[in-house]
Chain A
Amino acid sequence: MALTNETIKARLTEKFGEQVSGFTEPYGMLTFEAQKELNLKVLNFLYDDEELKFRFMTDMTGVHYPDNKGKELAVVYHLHNMTDNIRIRFKVFTDINQPDVYTATGLFSAANWMERETYDFFGVNFVGHPNLKRILNVEEMDYFPLRKEFPLEDQTRIDKDDEMFGRG
């Protein structure tokens, strides 16, 4: 019997009860969230459970919601069960002032660089990561560029001398 979103949801609530919440299905992909302290427990359960078998980490990234006070940063995992061919999306939210989230590198080797990237752009501190340093940006950088407080340059600005680049 193929695995369905309802079964996954039932299994998760059975195991974690109220601690996993916010079940939605945008465009058919089961999405839910948990407290950030639980992220490894949930990932481990999804990995080890003989029925769920979410053993492939497709993607991991961060999102910044500045208006979401106390839960500004989201870490989004996309997991894939290849035997039943079903994907889920799992989110944890963290406070921007203390962005500590447990690393998933012990479970997925793929998480290593994905977490470095998320750290690089959002400043999420992955506790226990073997080599948490910037990956795409220069190491001297002292801010996290994909956070929303860094707007892109205003295209209509006129105070800049652009003559050398043919835009003046």
Chain B
Amino acid sequence: MSEHHIKLPEGSIEKTTTTLNLGPTHPATHGVMQNILELDGERIVSTEQTIGYIHRAFEKLAERRPLAQITTLTDRLNYCSSPLNNMGWHLTCEKLLGVKTPKRVDYLRVIIMELSRISDHLICNSIVGVDAGAYTGFLYVMQYRELIYEIYEEVCGARLTTNIGRIGGFERNFNDIAFQKLEKFLREYPKVLKEFENLFQRNRIFMERTMGTGAISAERALNYGFTGPNLRAAGVDYDVRVHSPYSSYEDFQFNIPVGTTGDNYDRWLVREKEMWESLSIIEQAYQKVQEFKGAEADVYHADVPEYYLPPKVDVYTKMEALIYHFKIIMGETEIPAGEVYNSIEAGNGELGFYLISDGGRTPYRLHFRRPCFVYYQAYEELIKGSMLSDAIMTMSSLNLIAGELDA
């Protein structure tokens, strides 16, 4: 060591690597999660992910709640696409109870689910842009996420934690304003998405920042339990909507975009293409919804009196309605015993619900298969040896949502 080197204080350990705490609250982590990075210069030697900062014990809480009250818990999993989680939960309950939903309900659900998939992908992709230094795209597309939130507002009254839908269908029929807003969205959004795409897709700086970073092979991705866009970016065409169709997805024509390298750029591209597919699904679904005329156009829920709240006017005038109303509100309906696993294609992968009922009023056990919890463990493998700035991009392009990670 020459004289020009800074002398380490007496008794200090001579360590050649730097330890960096990224998070738990850091603007670049987009959520409460901590990474203890070991750096050699700017290269990452190893990392340890610490999660659980916003753990709220949903699985335990669910053991005391009747089915309808668990929907609000699912809102808070992936809060960028709450309606998807809500629908996943309703579908799980319906599978357990053996409820068959009318076609119109299925199509309306598809509209809501695809809208929220767009809003989820939009956030993720624009945040990848932000982490590459392109703030404009993010601010620009937020206006159009707003249009989606306004549609939710018309349907259920809420925007972020939506609690949308009920077991068997929707709480109310879509009104004309909701459809007008949907039309407005379908009219205005493609142009914006195209602009957003132009901003990034062939942008030299963006491509060089994302290509080849955070890559994973298809075998490793499968072994790590990747699902959703992250798995498809690695080249596996697994999509729950196609493999085990739910909510009448089999009635729609759409493509599953697949990547090849599984790097950040491919993940971004897959999400981008999926937004176009979602738009086309929404258009098809809207067309199908418009085909229902007369009395059929008023169908917005299945007939499940034990779980679906009766209209208020009936509660005041009819005995059964009053009884059902009371039982649903007080959570005194006995759930049939059974064991069911149901999954949907959520914004960032396969969102599964494993529900065990022992015949009581609340689930005996409920487990959420949260996609980002499963794939976040691959983070170390994804970023080992790469630069710190690439690690930040990899984190955002994985679409990690702290609420879902910690449940």
Contact = CB atoms under 8 A, between A and B. Distances in A.
Q: Does chain A bind chain B?
A: yes
Contact of A56 (B225, B377, B407): B225
A76 interface: yes
A121 B368 CA distance: 14
Residue of B338, B341, B406 with most chain A CB atoms under a 10 A cut-off? B341
B354 A61 contact: yes
Given A27-B340, A59-B354, A109 B223 contact: yes
B51 A109 contact: no
Contacts of B378: 109
A112 interface: yes
Contacts of B55: 136-137
A72 B340 CA distance: 20
Contacts of A136: 51-52, 55, 406-407
B354 to A, nearest CB: 6
A108 B341 contact: no
A63 interface: yes
A11 interface: no
B30 interface: no
Interface string A54-76: 01111101011000000000001
B287 interface: no
B373 to A, nearest CB: 7
Given A58-B350, A78-B341, A152 B224 contact: no
Contacts of A114: 374
Interface in A36-69: 55-59, 61, 63-64
Contacts of B26: none
A56 B106 CA distance: 29
A3 interface: no
Main secondary structure of the interface of A (DSSP, over half): mixed
B63 interface: yes
Residue of A26, A29, A85, A89 with most chain B CB atoms under a 10 A cut-off? A26
Interface string A70-107: 00000010100010010101000000000000000000
Nearest to A108: B223
B367 interface: yes
Contacts of B63: 152
A132 interface: no
A78 B354 contact: yes
Interface string A6-22: 00000000000000000
Contacts of B374: 110, 113-114
Given A56-B225, A78-B352, A152 B52 contact: no
Nearest to B48: A131
Interface in B171-224: 220, 222-224
A64 B356 CA distance: 11
Given A58-B369, A134-B52, A145-B57, 15 more contacts: A27-B341, A29-B341, A58-B343, A58-B350, A59-B341, A59-B354, A63-B365, A64-B365, A76-B354, A78-B352, A82-B243, A110-B225, A136-B51, A136-B52, A152-B64
Interface of B: 51-52, 55, 57, 59-61, 63-64, 95-96, 220, 222-225, 236, 238, 243-244, 338-341, 343, 350, 352, 354, 356, 364-365, 367, 369, 373-374, 376-378, 406-407
Closest 7 A/B residue pairs (Cβ): A110-B225, A136-B52, A59-B369, A61-B367, A136-B55, A113-B377, A26-B339
20 contacts: A26-B339, A26-B340, A27-B96, A58-B343, A58-B369, A59-B341, A82-B238, A109-B223, A109-B224, A109-B377, A110-B224, A110-B377, A114-B374, A136-B55, A138-B52, A145-B60, A146-B59, A150-B60, A152-B60, A152-B64
